[in-house]
Structure formats: C-alpha cells, structure tokens
C-alpha cells in the first residue's frame, strides 16, 4: 500500500499500550479456494454474497472459526452431497470472527463451506465500499489490512493463502475489474443486469482481493506481451497517458531485474474517486486515488510526473514483494513496504537521470531517521495483533527505514550479490509466505557476508546508531589514514540515554586522491584504516547509503567545509546537513553551528538539498528566532537564496532539466515565505492573477510554489479565486494545489473560512486530515485550527477515522511548541482516543517536548548569531 502523499511525508509512529486481544485464527481448518459471487446493488448500497470455501481440516472438528465483520449471515452449510449439514453461526465483534458450529464433527481432510450472506456498501473507504463521483457512485474494495472480512467471510490472515474465483452481477451499463481477467460476460439474471466471471487467481492472501464496479474506461498498451490498462471514471480517462507510459517502462525494468517475470498475466490500474491510501497493490488490479495516477500530459509538473512514476513503481514492485511472496504475519510488514519503497527508485533512476533519484533516497532515509530518533519509535519487526495496531504499523519505520536498511546492505554486499539473494528469496517463497529470517539467510548465502548478525541489529531493535568520528591521523609514512569510530544510540532527548549496539557497515569516502573503503563496525569503539594516503577529512557515509547518524570532531568538520560543494555528492550533502540539524535538536550542537554549516551551501544546486535547508530555516524562523530578530533571519535567507534565484530567473528555459525546474521552485518558495522577499511575493501574485484569465495557466513547474506564496500574502479576492479554481479544476493536481493554498492565509477570517470548508462535501474523507495538516503548518492558523478541530470533533470523526487520516491529524499536532498545547493535546485524545494513532500520539508529544527544550536553549543563540553575522 502507498500511504497518501502528505501522510507519507510526515508519517510518524511505536510499541503501544493498546490492549490487544489475541486475534489469530486457529489453524485446524485452512482454506484452499474461494468461489465468491456478488450481486452489487449500487442504488441501495448493498450487496448479496454467495460463497463456497474449499477447506482442509488437519483433524476432525465440530467448529470452524473464520473472520467476518458487518456481514449478515443468511445460511451456512458445511460438507457436500449427503454429508452436507447446516452450521450455527456465533459472531464475536471484538475478535471480528464468526464461529461455525456443526451438529456432527467434520472429518479430517477436504470439505466445503457454503455461505449465503448480505452486506452494506459502507462509506468508510474499507472493505466493500461506495465511492462517490460527481454524478454517480462506484463500488470499490480496499481489503488491506484486515477488511476482506467486511466483504466476505474468510480466513483473513496473510498466511492463509488460497485461490479466488470471483463472479460479479452488476448493472447492465456498468463494468467491473478484479484480480483475474474476464472469462465470460453474460446478460442476466435480471434484464437490467449482466454477470462477469473472472479467471481464478493464483494462490494469494485475502487482503489482495480486489473488485471495482462502475462505468470505468481504460487506456491500454502492452509491455513484454503483458496487457496493461490505466482506468478511470469516464471523464478522466484521457488523464492516464503519463501513467500508461510509466507502467510500461517499469514492467520492462522489473522483468529484467527479477528472475521471475511478471507472474499475473495482465495488469489493471484503476483510479477511483474516494480512496483512503495513495494506492493499493491488489494482485494484477492496483487501485488508486486519482491525484497520484492521473494528470494532464501537457500541464503536469516534474513533481507530478515523479509522483505518478514513483507510486506506480512502488505498487508494481509489490506484485513481487507482497503479492507473490507475502510476509507470514503483519509484524514483518516491512518485507512488503520496505522492499517496495527500496525497489521503486530503481526504474525511476534508470529512466530519468535528471531526476537525481539518489537524493530522493537520501531524503527518504532522513525521514526514517527523524522518527527513529524518538524514544517512542519501534523496531522494524514489532509484535502487532489488533487491527488498529496493524494499521498503525504502516509507518515510516516499515517504509523508509525498511528501504534505507536494504540500501545499506545492498551497497555493502554489492548490487549483484544482493540481487541474486533477492531472486533466491523470491523463488524459494513464491506463492507462499516468508519472514525476516528467510530474507537475511538468502542474502547471507548469496553474498557470503554475515547478514544474520548484521540485519537483526537493525530489524529487531529500535532506534538509530550515532557514529562519532574522531582521532583522524596519518601513519608515519603518510601512506594510510586511521580514524576512530564510536557507536551509541542516537536520541533527540539525550538526557535519558538508551542502550543499543549495532553491526554497522560503514563506508567511507574522502578527498579525491584517497580511495573509499567499507568496514563492519561491531564494537562500541573501533579504530580502522579509512583511506590510503594522508587525508585531512573523511566522509563516513559514502553515497549516504548508511542507516546511521554521523558526528565529526569539530576540526574534521572545519577541514571538510571547503570541500562540501566540490567533492561530496548531492545525496551526501543532504545527509551531512541533516545530521548536523539532528545534532542540534539533540542538544549536542548549537543552532549557530548549523547556520554556519549552511553558509557552505550557498551554491547548492540540488533541489532537494536546498528544500531541506529551506525547511530547517523556516523552523528556525518560526520557533527559535527572537521576535525582534526575525527580519535579520529573513535577510539571511535572502542572502542565501537570492543569488541562485537571479541565476535561474523566474522563467524556465526550454532546455532546463527537470531538477533545475524543481530547484527554481524551491528557491522561489523559500524566498517567498521565510525570506519574505517583496519582489518574489509580487511576482507570484501577478503570475497567479494572470493565470485567472480565460485559457491562461501557471507555468507547471512553478504553479504550486507561486500559488502558495501568493496565498501566504493573499486577500479575500485571492481566497475566492482559489475556491472557484478548486471547484472547476478538471485535473486533480490543480484542485489540490488550490485547496492546499487555502491553509496559507494570514487573515483570521479567511483562515476560519478555510477551516469551515472541511465540514462540507468539498473536502472528501480521503483528504480531510491532509487538508487540515496545512493549517497546523501555518503558525498563524495553528491554534485556530486546533480549536476548530476540538469544537467540531463529532462532525469530523467520520472524516478523520479513515486509513492514514487519524495518524495524519495527530502527527500534525507535533507542530506545537508549548506546554499548554501539549497538555491539551494529551488530555483531548485521552478523552477521544484514536486507537490507530496511539504510538503517533506519543511521538507527537515527544516532538513538542523536544521543540520546547530547543526553544529554551537556542533562542538566545540564534539572536546572537544573527547579530554577529549580519
């Protein structure tokens, strides 16, 4: 699954005190095959189901326990022919199970369970649900993690793999898409209906079963003879072209990387109007929210193209990592999400050199390190049991940390040995399940490296190591340089140290004339030869591929500073400056150290590195700058970024590479917000006003930055124009750009109007938490937004309590930086618990506490630095 984009950017997450009932099914009776027939009634939001499950009993039993929720059982029989007998159904809502009890025990061996039932097409965006378009509604499934049981009674755990044969009876004017290809399509049984039979799936888990019903239309193509379709509601079909081309390239890439070629025959990708996650990797039938799949080829920005390719590459990687080989239980969800996140970067890097994917990877690692520096983090492999705990495990630890650890290991053992291990792992467990141990055994065997010792230290224990580099020294003959590495657990709150010892592959880069080398750090403190020749500095995270923070002795950092722009790669520059920021937040370095380091990035030309620095400067501006010094900080930001803006100009040249376009947008955004640059602000507003003329548009690569900057200094006229633009937008990106800008205003009345909008159908459930997050990011709107959320909690809850909404909202509250707001947040959620955001709440509180401590210790430091330097 791909979390929706904004949630992914801020996902935060832990070992929670949620009381969890043991919810695992017994294993006496297990399924082999499901025949599933549905009659879908979109007029009354209902469905009727007829189900036959072929099961195997390992011993004689008079009870079968399976999962079912919000299902109305009508008739259940067990057995075939003369042996068929009715079963009594006992429902247990707490464990989401149905127990079928028979008068006579069934024998060991094969038998069949027949169930007739009915259900409601719900509005909770999970199970079998109604999705509402502008003029009609659609029936859609979202079964991950534990919602297949809401669509049909089943053994709803990932290790109960079975085959599925789906039949759908639907309105005559509609079509349907499922995991298998359509085998037959016949009129009836009613004159207004037709019935589609889909091919039996390969063995797979219940959470991957997929059905969608409506008047969808598709663009189609093939890649390596596999038919690919990009489908959408009829009015949006033409917006699938970018995705169709991407999907072809990605499939061809994966078919060359993996020893097992795409195994599922066809691939359908469907955008639906209401979808809680970003996308879902249902076997051969990937479902999507519209904004992540559909865009206009002519007006799509680099970011939009990248998002479409990246989410597709993620979901398509799942066809191998997740669909073909599935984690045995949700405690190893990283085997799905970490692997898909890691893999997705490869086809993008192969097709788009100017996307600088290595910097995206470095940024991905930084997101994981951010969460993993909290006490309330969790290990990659963590026990989960209740559905809410399972949902909350789709976090930055499963996705970004999982991916970062894989990148580190791949770099350490070499890409070829790693790929051999991956292929051996996939071949050994195809159509079955696997565990973390299975994975590291496969890589250990393909590489000959001690992965069974290395990986458990990253997978089974929480947190991130800090490597302190010191005692850089040359030997007498100046032929070798040695350094001492010390490891400890890195925590933002360093008052309360926690134990931790890792086996860390550390790869070192240095001045151009020295050679890089990798070492396995196993001891708390180790002295190693790091370079040939006599180096005055080293960079202890070559390629930014390591999963650790690094701290250099001050003399080494001074020696490195003049070489940062010239000799470190962009991914390494990002890692260096973000590590420095983390050391500030942990109270090990001062903000003055950070600001001084940042001045070495004056000529930074990688957009994501610039963006990262701009975000930190915005944080320093909003939280750590004494009010009477804000103008000096703004001037510092202008002095950093204005020369770059002048070099780039406001208008892209046709020859500009994608990253240059993204760089221009990042510089414009930094200058127009934190830099408070009057010229940039005026230009943004003028460009926006011009774009309102009939037929006019904003330059695609600058549209988002221009709109946001204009809104940040905007009036009621601009607010109305944005609401109108959102309303008439025919492409999803335009709608979201306009809506998210509503959170940027400074005027109290406009902020209030923006907040009220979330209560209207204008803002769908899938977007509500993401929309509100914007207001929490705006210092002027933050407290107002919180007051609004509390006052309207009853009305908001159904819109927030969808997948990713609860964690998205709770993590947004981490933007507070004072004790009263922290205490209020705690007491509000004590009274109004969100079970799937329990750990997220702990992390939010920890972030607020960290900010309070930082504000106390660093505000005077920032003031003094600004006074001294400007």
Q: Is the peptide bond before 219 cis (omega within 30 degrees of 0)?
A: no
Quote the least distance from Cβ 50 to Zn ion, whole Å.
32
Q: Is 448 left (phi over 0), alpha (psi -120 to 50) or beta?
A: left
Quote the least distance from Cβ 332 to Zn ion, whole Å.
14
Pick between residue 281 and residue 420 the one whose CB is nearest to Zn ion: 281
Quote the least distance from Cβ 2 to Zn ion, whole Å.
5
Q: Is 718 left (phi over 0), alpha (psi -120 to 50) or beta?
A: alpha
Pick between residue 281 and residue 580 the one whose CB is nearest to Zn ion: 281
Pick between residue 336 and residue 740 the one whose CB is nearest to Zn ion: 336
Pick between residue 277 and residue 718 the one whose CB is nearest to Zn ion: 277
Could you confirm whether 48 is annotated as catalytic?
no
Looking up tokens 């991407």, which residue turns up? 246
Task: In whole angstroms, give the CA distance from residue 656 to residue 343.
Answer: 28
Phi and psi at residue 59, in whole multiples of 5°? -155, 165
Quote the least distance from Cβ 281 to Zn ion, whole Å.
6
Pick between residue 51 and residue 337 the one whose CB is nearest to Zn ion: 337
The answer to whether the Cα torsion of 174, 179, 182, 186 is positive or negative is: negative
Kindly give the pairing relationship between strand 211-214 and strand 29-41. unpaired
Phi and psi at residue 713, in whole multiples of 5°? -125, 30
Pick between residue 303 and residue 337 the one whose CB is nearest to Zn ion: 337
In a 3-state reduction of DSSP, which class is residue 119? strand
Q: Is the peptide bond before 501 cis (omega within 30 degrees of 0)?
A: no
Looking up tokens 């957009």, which residue turns up? 607
Kindly give the pairing relationship between strand 480-490 and strand 504-508. unpaired
What are the residues whose beta carbons fall under 8 Å from the beta carbon of 856, sequence distance 6 or more? none
Quote the least distance from Cβ 166 to Zn ion, whole Å.
23
Q: Do 365 and 347 touch, CB atoms closer than 8 A?
A: no
Pick between residue 340 and residue 486 the one whose CB is nearest to Zn ion: 340
Which stretches of the chain bind Zn ion, using CB under 5 A?
1-2, 337, 340
Task: In whole angstroms, give the CA distance from residue 621 to residue 636.
Answer: 11
Task: In whole angstroms, give the CA distance from residue 303 to residue 773.
Answer: 20
Rounded CA Rg of the chain: 28
| Structure tokens that stand for 497 in this block | 């140290």
Residues β-bridged to residue 40: 47
Phi and psi at residue 294, in whole multiples of 5°? -105, 135
Task: In whole angstroms, give the CA distance from residue 308 to residue 240.
Answer: 10
Which single residue brings its beta carbon nearest to Zn ion? Answer: 1
Pick between residue 147 and residue 340 the one whose CB is nearest to Zn ion: 340
Q: Do 520 and 476 touch, CB atoms closer than 8 A?
A: no
What are the residues whose beta carbons fall under 8 Å from the beta carbon of 467, sequence distance 6 or more? 485, 486, 487, 504, 506, 521, 540, 548, 549, 550, 551
Q: Do 474 and 480 touch, CB atoms closer than 8 A?
A: yes
Quote the least distance from Cβ 146 to Zn ion, whole Å.
16
Task: In whole angstroms, give the CA distance from residue 299 to residue 122.
Answer: 35
| Structure tokens that stand for 600 in this block | 């070495």
Quote the least distance from Cβ 337 to Zn ion, whole Å.
5
Pick between residue 338 and residue 511 the one whose CB is nearest to Zn ion: 338
Task: In whole angstroms, give the CA distance from residue 133 to residue 860.
Answer: 54
Task: In whole angstroms, give the CA distance from residue 304 to residue 774.
Answer: 19
DSSP code string of 62-100: EEEEEE-SSEEEEEEEESSGGG-EE-EEEEETTTTEEEE
Quote the least distance from Cβ 1 to Zn ion, whole Å.
4
Pick between residue 214 and residue 338 the one whose CB is nearest to Zn ion: 338
Quote the least distance from Cβ 765 to Zn ion, whole Å.
21
Other C-beta atoms lying within 10 Å of the C-beta of residue 460: 12
Pick between residue 341 and residue 815 the one whose CB is nearest to Zn ion: 341
Quote the least distance from Cβ 336 to Zn ion, whole Å.
6
Quote the least distance from Cβ 395 to Zn ion, whole Å.
12
Q: Please list the helix, strand and coil fractions of the chain in percent, rounded to the nearest 5, in that order.
A: 45, 25, 30
Pick between residue 42 and residue 340 the one whose CB is nearest to Zn ion: 340
Task: In whole angstroms, give the CA distance from residue 470 to residue 202.
Answer: 55
Quote the least distance from Cβ 74 to Zn ion, whole Å.
36
Out of 144, 290, 315, 604, which one is annotated catalytic?
A: 315
Task: In whole angstroms, give the CA distance from residue 618 to residue 602.
Answer: 17
Which residues are marked as active site? 315
């Amino acid at each position: 699954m791909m979390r929706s984009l904004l949630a992914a950017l801020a996902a935060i997450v832990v070992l929670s005190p949620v009381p969890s009932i043991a919810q695992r099914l017994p294993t006496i009776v297990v399924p082999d095959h499901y025949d599933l027939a549905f009659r879908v009634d979109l007029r009354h939001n209902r469905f009727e189901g007829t189900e036959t499950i072929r099961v195997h009993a390992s011993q004689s039993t008079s009870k079968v326990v399976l999962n079912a929720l919000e299902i109305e059982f009508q008739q259940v029989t067990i057995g075939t022919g003369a042996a068929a007998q009715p079963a009594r159904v006992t429902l247990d809502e707490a464990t989401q199970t149905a127990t079928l009890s028979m008068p006579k025990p069934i024998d060991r061996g094969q038998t069949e369970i027949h169930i007739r039932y009915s259900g409601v097409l719900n509005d909770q965006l999970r199970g079998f649900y109604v999705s509402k378009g502008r003029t009609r509604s659609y029936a859609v499934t979202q079964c991950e993690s534990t919602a297949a049981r809401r669509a049909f009674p089943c053994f709803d755990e990932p290790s109960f793999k079975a085959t599925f044969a789906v039949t759908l009876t639907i309105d005559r004017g509609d079509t349907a898409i499922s995991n298998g290809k359509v085998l037959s399509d016949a009129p009836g049984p009613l004159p207004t209906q037709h019935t589609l039979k889909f091919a039996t799936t390969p063995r797979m888990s219940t959470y991957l079963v997929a059905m969608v019903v409506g008047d969808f239309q598709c663009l189609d193509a093939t890649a390596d003879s596999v038919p690919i379709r990009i489908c959408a509601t009829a009015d949006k079909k033409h917006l699938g072209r970018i995705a169709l081309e991407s999907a072809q390239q990605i499939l061809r890439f994966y078919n060359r990387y993996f020893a097992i070629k795409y195994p599922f025959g066809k691939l359908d990708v469907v955008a639906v109007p209401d979808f809680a996650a970003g996308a879902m990797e249902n076997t051969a039938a990937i479902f999507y929210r519209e904004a992540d799949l559909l865009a206009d080829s002519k007006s799509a920005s680099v970011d939009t193209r990248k998002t479409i390719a990246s989410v597709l590459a993620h979901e398509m990687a799942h066809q191998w990592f997740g669909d073909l080989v599935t984690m045995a239980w949700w405690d190893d969800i990283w085997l799905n999400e970490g692997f898909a996140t890691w893999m997705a970067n490869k086809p993008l890097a192969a097709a788009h050199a100017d996307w600088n994917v290595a910097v995206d990877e470095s940024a991905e690692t930084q997101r994981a390190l951010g969460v993993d520096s909290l006490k309330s983090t969790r290990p990659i492999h963590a026990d989960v049991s209740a559905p809410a705990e399972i949902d909350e495990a789709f976090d930055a630890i499963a996705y970004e940390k999982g991916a970062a650890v894989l990148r580190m290991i791949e770099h350490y053992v070499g890409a070829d040995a790693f790929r051999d291990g991956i292929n051996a792992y996939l071949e050994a467990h195809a159509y079955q399940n696997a565990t973390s141990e299975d994975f590291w055994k496969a890589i250990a065997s393909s590489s000959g490296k001690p992965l069974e010792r290395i990986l458990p230290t990253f997978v089974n224990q929480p947190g991130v190591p800090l490597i302190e580099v010191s005692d850089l020294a040359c030997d007498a003959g100046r032929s070798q340089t040695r350094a001492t590495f010390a490891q400890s657990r890195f925590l933002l709150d360093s008052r309360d140290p926690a134990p931790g010892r890792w086996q860390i592959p550390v790869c070192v880069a240095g001045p151009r004339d020295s050679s890089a080398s990798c070492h396995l750090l196993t001891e708390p403190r180790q002295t190693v030869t790091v370079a040939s020749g006599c180096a005055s500095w080293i960079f202890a995270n070559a390629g930014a591929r390591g999963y650790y923070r690094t701290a250099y002795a001050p003399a080494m950092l001074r020696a490195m500073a003049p070489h940062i722009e010239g000799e470190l790669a962009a991914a390494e520059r990002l890692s260096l400056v973000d590590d420095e920021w983390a050391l500030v937040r942990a109270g090990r370095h001062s903000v003055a150290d950070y600001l001084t380091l940042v001045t070495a990035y004056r000529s930074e030309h990688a957009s994501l590195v610039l963006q990262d620095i701009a975000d930190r400067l915005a944080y320093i501006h909003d939280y750590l700058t004494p009010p009477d010094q804000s103008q000096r900080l703004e001037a510092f930001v202008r002095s950093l970024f204005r020369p770059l803006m002048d070099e780039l100009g406001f208008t892209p040249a046709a020859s500009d590479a994608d990253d240059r376009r993204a760089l221009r947008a990042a510089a414009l955004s930094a200058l127009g917000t934190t830099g408070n640059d009057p010229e940039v602000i005026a230009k943004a507003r003028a460009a926006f006003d011009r774009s309102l003329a009939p037929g006019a548009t904003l330059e695609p690569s600058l549209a988002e930055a221009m709109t946001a900057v204009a809104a940040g200094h905007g009036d009621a006229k601009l607010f109305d124009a944005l609401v109108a633009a959102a309303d008439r937008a025919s492409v999803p990106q335009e709608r979201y750009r306009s809506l998210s800008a509503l959170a940027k205003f400074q005027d109290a009345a406009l902020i209030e109007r923006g907040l009220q909008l979330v209560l209207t159908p204008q803002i769908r459930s899938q977007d509500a938490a993401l929309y509100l997050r914007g207001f929490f990011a705006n210092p002027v709107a933050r407290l107002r937004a919180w007051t609004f959320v509390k006052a309207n909690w009853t009305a908001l809850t159904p819109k927030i309590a969808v997948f990713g909404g609860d964690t998205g909202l709770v993590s947004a509250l981490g933007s507070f930086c004072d004790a009263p707001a922290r205490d209020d947040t705690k007491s509000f959620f004590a009274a109004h618990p969100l079970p799937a955001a329990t750990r997220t709440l702990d992390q939010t509180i920890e972030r607020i506490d960290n900010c309070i401590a930082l504000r106390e210790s660093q505000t005077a430091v920032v003031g003094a630095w600004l006074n001294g330097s400007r």
